[in-house]
């Protein structure tokens, strides 16, 4: 039996193929693949078909079949044995049927299930236990998970109206501070020199160019090197405190651990823990990517 897990974002998709020789035993990792990101909210079915046909299927067809020597899967039609689980950003309830149809038509797997990136976080972090699962990367999101389903979700609202705790919001706070706080003039000059930008460049990237949220999040590589600056460190902590107050407080479940997946949570864990302590929460698992936890979740017989 084979299971193929996909964890897809806007820039890349990680695929992991699992195998078991006995339906009563756990699965093991057989192979991993990468393709560009697949997001049905931004890409047409034709675009998604092209990615699957040009990038994924060739990798599946050429990986060493000798790895299947100890299993009962020896025929050429590999896909008919695969249970496919696709998790992705942009897989809203309205887009799930479209995504399932495209995956079914192109790959013809044994079965296919499509879920949001938030469900990926919940299953990866909480497995079958209740908890609060959060995404903290370029953007931010959270949910209350009962061990099987997402039962509550505070709307993320994006980096303009929401996304507290995210890299894009931290970038906005940072750029505002270095231009307005006289105590940060030296840091401002250092950042502009390192980034090879001017104030005018920054204004253009934020207000006139696409993907402003991604640009704002790139400031994190500079910020993390200057956490010894008390103003910067406090800015990071306050950004996370705002996340707890705006996103997890509505669940009213401070008795549950709060788990995180994403680059912001992973790289700023000490500051995240300090913010959680000040807001009365306990941090559970922190992962850079949900794939590790998804492998554990889907490896169970």
Instruction: Give the three-class secondary structure for 135.
Output: strand
**Structure tokens that stand for 101 in this block:** 């149809």
Q: What is the pTM of this model?
A: 0.85
Please report the pLDDT score of residue 32 as a whole number: 92
Please report the pLDDT score of residue 74 as a whole number: 45
- Digit-by-digit pLDDT tens for the chain (301 residues) are 889 999 998 778 999 999 887 666 788 888 899 998 888 888 899 999 999 999 999 998 877 555 555 555 544 567 788 999 999 988 889 999 999 999 999 998 999 999 999 999 999 999 999 999 999 998 899 999 999 999 999 998 888 888 899 999 999 999 999 999 999 999 999 999 999 999 999 999 999 988 888 899 999 999 999 999 999 999 999 999 999 999 999 999 999 999 999 999 999 999 999 999 999 999 999 999 999 999 999 988 5
Please report the pLDDT score of residue 48 as a whole number: 93
Instruction: Give the three-class secondary structure for 83.
Output: strand
How far apart, in whole angstroms, are the C-alpha atoms of residue 136 and residue 201? 27
Please report the pLDDT score of residue 101 as a whole number: 95
Task: For the beta carbon of residue 190, count every other beta carbon within 10 angstroms.
Answer: 15
**Structure tokens that stand for 276 in this block:** 């959680």
Instruction: Give the three-class secondary structure for 265.
Output: helix
Please report the pLDDT score of residue 24 as a whole number: 66
């Amino acid at each position: 039996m084979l299971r193929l897990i996909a964890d897809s974002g806007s820039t890349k998709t990680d695929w992991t193929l699992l195998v078991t020789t006995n339906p009563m035993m756990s699965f093991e990792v057989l192979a991993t693949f990468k393709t560009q990101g697949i997001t049905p909210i931004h890409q047409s079915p034709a675009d998604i078909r092209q990615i699957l046909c040009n990038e994924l299927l060739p990798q599946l067809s050429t990986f060493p079949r000798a790895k299947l020597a100890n299993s009962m899967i020896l025929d050429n039609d590999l896909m008919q044995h695969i249970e496919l689980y696709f998790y992705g950003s942009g897989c809203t309830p309205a887009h799930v049927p479209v995504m399932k149809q495209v995956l079914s038509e192109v790959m013809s797997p044994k079965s296919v299930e499509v879920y949001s990136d938030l469900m990926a976080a919940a299953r990866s972090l909480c497995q079958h236990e209740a908890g609060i699962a959060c995404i903290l990367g370029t953007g931010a999101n959270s949910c209350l998970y009962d061990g099987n389903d997402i039962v509550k979700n505070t709307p993320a609202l994006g980096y303009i109206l929401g996304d507290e705790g995210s890299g894009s919001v931290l970038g906005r706070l940072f750029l505002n501070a270095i231009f307005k706080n006289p105590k940060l003039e030296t840091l401002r000059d250092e950042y502009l020199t390192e980034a090879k930008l001017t104030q005018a460049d920054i204004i253009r990237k934020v207000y006139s160019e696409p993907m402003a949220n991604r640009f704002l999040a790139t400031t994190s590589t500079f910020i993390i090197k200057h956490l010894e600056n008390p103003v910067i460190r406090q800015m990071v902590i306050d950004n996370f405190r705002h996340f707890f107050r705006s996103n997890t407080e509505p669940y009213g479940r401070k008795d549950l651990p709060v788990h995180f997946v994403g680059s912001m949570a992973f790289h700023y864990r000490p500051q995240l823990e300090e913010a959680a302590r000040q807001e009365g929460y306990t941090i559970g698992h922190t992962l850079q990517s949900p794939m590790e936890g998804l492998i554990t979740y889907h490896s169970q017989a």
